[in-house]
Amino acid sequence: MAKLEKTLKAQEGLALAQDSAPGKGEQASAAQSPSNQVVDWLASLQWCLENQDIDQFVDLFADDGYWRDILTIELDFNSLSKSSIKSYLSHHQLSLPPLKNLALDRPDQLVITPEGRIRSFIQFETDIYRGTGVVILTDSRVTSTHSKAFLFFSQIWEVKGHEEKLGFRRPLGVPTGTHAEGRPLTWLETRNQSAERYKNGVDPTVLILGGGQNGLSVAARLKVLGIESLIVEKSKRLGDCWRTRYDSLCLHDPVWADHLAYMPYPPTWPVYTPKDKLADWFEFYAASMELDVWLQSTLVPSAAEYDPDTGRWTVDVQLGEEGTIQLRPRYLVLATGLNGAPQWPTNIANLDAYSGTVLHSSQFQSAKEWHGKRAVVVGACNSAHDIAAELVHNGAAEVTMVQRSSTFVMSSQHGIPALLDGLYEEGGMATEDADRIFTGLPINMLESMHTKIQEKIAELDRPLLRSLENVGFKLDPYPAGMLIKYFRRGGGYYIDVGCSELIASKKIKLKQGKEVSRLTEHGLVFSDGEGISADVIVFATGYRSVRERIGKLLSEQVAERLGAVWGKDNQGEIPGTWRLFGQPGLWLMGGNFFQARCFSKHLATQILLQELNIYDKNWPGRSQTKVYSKE
């Protein structure tokens, strides 16, 4: 972020904060330039904040406008429509945040959107932190009225005096510490000792369970803030969570949206990352970011206890063959994914009668051994399609997909560019800029925007979708599209990369709308009485609740205190992840690569504020001690 003082100086003379309430003094004329409209709007906003005038504040928004805020109103995530701002603040006894020195951030990035609105990055500060955001305003040159906010996004970016150790603040890298021989420790000696010290009575501030993209991202964020963390990963190698999946697996999101924090992929990186390449990158990332990791390590189930008096957890970690080590971290971050244990159908009779192989999709690794064999895949979302296609490509004699309900289908060819172009694309804007814009959009607003986009995608995909319907595949017409379905449900869709054509051409057979009733010695029978022979049955039937897994991992008492996880709260925000959700000292870090990169920063910031003892008290603009995910 550009230094606030430089930006303010560059804008000096453009506008001054108004001396009277907005609407009572001179206002922007229809001929004002876009930058002056933003400056004037920020000046009006500044007046409202300084005078705590909520009515005038609300009047700065368009009728369909939103205030998306991360951590400045209260230490939570909020998406407030114009009509709900005043009632929410009043109900929760919250005041407007004391933001000051509101200014354009990098005015050269101000643009007119395709909808004819003005979009600008902004920055601000308080006595405690510096913040960044985005405003999207109506253009008075078009509307002939004063600019109103379609979107005002505000977020904490850095805490003063505790900035990330980047750029000019980067470490020197010279030898530090003292060896037993009296000489300085080398960098390698320091690194080798770093994770080992936790075996010798030193407790990490943060214990992170899971070394996937979410665990690595939050560990990196904490690292550059100077907060010690330790990753506990059950696998033999970092990246095995991807390395051990089915052979053909690639990420379904393109490279431009999938960078990890601080370390973008090189320009030679493929558009869709193969799982083994990604797994190797995880190892490289952890080494480069100097993250402390214990491999082949797990938390002893149901042995975690939280002491509210000391603010520490007591946990037992099974460290491979080295035995059990007790740690007392202040915070636990669960980064083992948003899924629980594999979901197996519970209403299928005679499971023991089957003589073939039964796998869950999480266990399926290679289709090579099923060359010339008959396979049935139960399920019809991403994993099911990928596995069915891999079986066909590896010469399975017969592949049948069992689609029990409906599936949302979108082609990668048309859908991904329509959803991401303008933000995440080759030659596009900097990832940090795209992240700020996308993070700032409330999901309820995105739902409306994507409903229009999805109409265009569906029209482009019409030949594909018709070909599927022609063979009996049942489509879910979810109006808001794939991304919103992911935000709301976490699944239920397929991004087509070729399997749909295999279904349409009947190279993959389809059984639609019927449940598996029972297994026989050589196959399975459906609820309509039809039977299919199979050498292998793969259940791509999803996963159980993450709350259930938390109960088994920590305790049922902890799980009972937790709020909702994933889906939507009454503001349309995703509950549970990256924010308070019922248990002090416990955080859930989950989601795709974009969410791992963006929200790991907000989670780490919340931990930093707790460490500075300003999280639960003396917080400007906040009158409650704790606010958990809203029901």
Report the CATH number that the domain containing residue 443 is assigned in CATH. 3.50.50.60
Binned at pLDDT 50, 70 and 90, residue 184 comes out as confident
Residue 618 has pLDDT above 80, yes or no: no
Number of helices and strands in the chain (H, E): 19, 26
Average pLDDT, integer, range 14-42: 63
Of 539, 569, 601, which marks where a domain is finished?
Answer: 539
Q: What percent of the chain has pLDDT over 90?
A: 82
In a domain, 25, yes or no: yes
Claim to verify: residue 51 and residue 24 sit in the same structural domain = yes
Of 133, 159, 185, which marks where a domain is finished?
Answer: 159
pLDDT at 177 (0 to 100): 65
Claim to verify: residue 406 and residue 420 sit in the same structural domain = yes
Residue written as token pair 């993959």: 508
Residue 391 has pLDDT above 90, yes or no: yes
Q: What torsion, rounded to 10 degrees, do the Cα atoms 479, 480, 482, 483 define?
A: -170
In a domain, 180, yes or no: no
pLDDT tens per residue, range 64-96: 999 999 999 998 999 999 999 999 999 988 999
Mean pLDDT of the chain: 91
Count of domains for the chain: 3
Claim to verify: residue 573 and residue 594 sit in the same structural domain = yes
pLDDT at 320 (0 to 100): 87
Average pLDDT, integer, range 599-615: 93
Binned at pLDDT 50, 70 and 90, residue 178 comes out as low
pLDDT at 30 (0 to 100): 44
Binned at pLDDT 50, 70 and 90, residue 9 comes out as very low
pLDDT tens per residue, range 463-478: 999 999 999 999 999 9
CA distance 188 to 238: 20
pLDDT at 615 (0 to 100): 67
Question: Residue 42: CA atoms inside 13 Å, Cβ hemisphere, count?
Answer: 30
Average pLDDT, integer, range 178-198: 84
Claim to verify: residue 508 and residue 562 sit in the same structural domain = no
Claim to verify: residue 148 and residue 240 sit in the same structural domain = no
Give CA separation, 598 vs 119, 259, 280, 592, in Å: 20, 10, 22, 10
pLDDT tens per residue, range 417-451: 999 999 999 999 999 999 999 999 999 999 999 99
In a domain, 142, yes or no: yes
pLDDT tens per residue, range 585-597: 999 999 999 999 9
CA distance 612 to 475: 51
In a domain, 181, yes or no: no
pLDDT at 321 (0 to 100): 87
Claim to verify: residue 111 and residue 36 sit in the same structural domain = yes
Q: Among 100-109, 168-177, 195-204, 282-291, where is mean pLDDT lowest?
A: 168-177
Claim to verify: residue 279 and residue 362 sit in the same structural domain = no
Report, in angstroms and rounded to the nearest whole number, the Rg of the chain calculated over CA atoms: 27
pLDDT at 625 (0 to 100): 34
Average pLDDT, integer, range 264-268: 98
In a domain, 482, yes or no: yes
In a domain, 442, yes or no: yes
Q: Among 13-27, 219-233, 268-282, where is mean pLDDT lowest?
A: 13-27
Of 506, 539, 572, which marks where a domain is finished?
Answer: 539
Identify the bridge partners of residue 586 per DSSP, sorted by sequence position.
332
In a domain, 40, yes or no: yes
Backbone angles phi, psi at 288, to 5 degrees: -70, -35
Q: Among 20-34, 118-132, 362-376, 569-583, where is mean pLDDT lowest?
A: 20-34
Distance of CA 13 to the CA centre of its chain: 40
In a domain, 394, yes or no: yes
Binned at pLDDT 50, 70 and 90, residue 185 comes out as confident
Domain coverage including residue 519: 351-539
Claim to verify: residue 367 and residue 429 sit in the same structural domain = yes
539 vs 622: which has the higher pLDDT: 539
Claim to verify: residue 358 and residue 412 sit in the same structural domain = yes
Residue 134 has pLDDT above 90, yes or no: yes
pLDDT at 10 (0 to 100): 39
Distance of CA 386 to the CA centre of its chain: 23
Beta carbons of 156 and 129 less than 8 angstroms apart: yes
- Residue 97's Cβ-count burial label (10 Å; 0-12, 13-18, 19+) is buried
The type of residue at 86 is K
Q: What torsion, rounded to 10 degrees, do the Cα atoms 550, 556, 557, 563 define?
A: 50
pLDDT at 332 (0 to 100): 98
Reduced to 3 states (helix: H, G, I; strand: E, B; else coil), residue 585 is: coil
Claim to verify: residue 297 and residue 212 sit in the same structural domain = yes
Claim to verify: residue 594 and residue 467 sit in the same structural domain = no
pLDDT at 584 (0 to 100): 94
Claim to verify: residue 359 and residue 457 sit in the same structural domain = yes
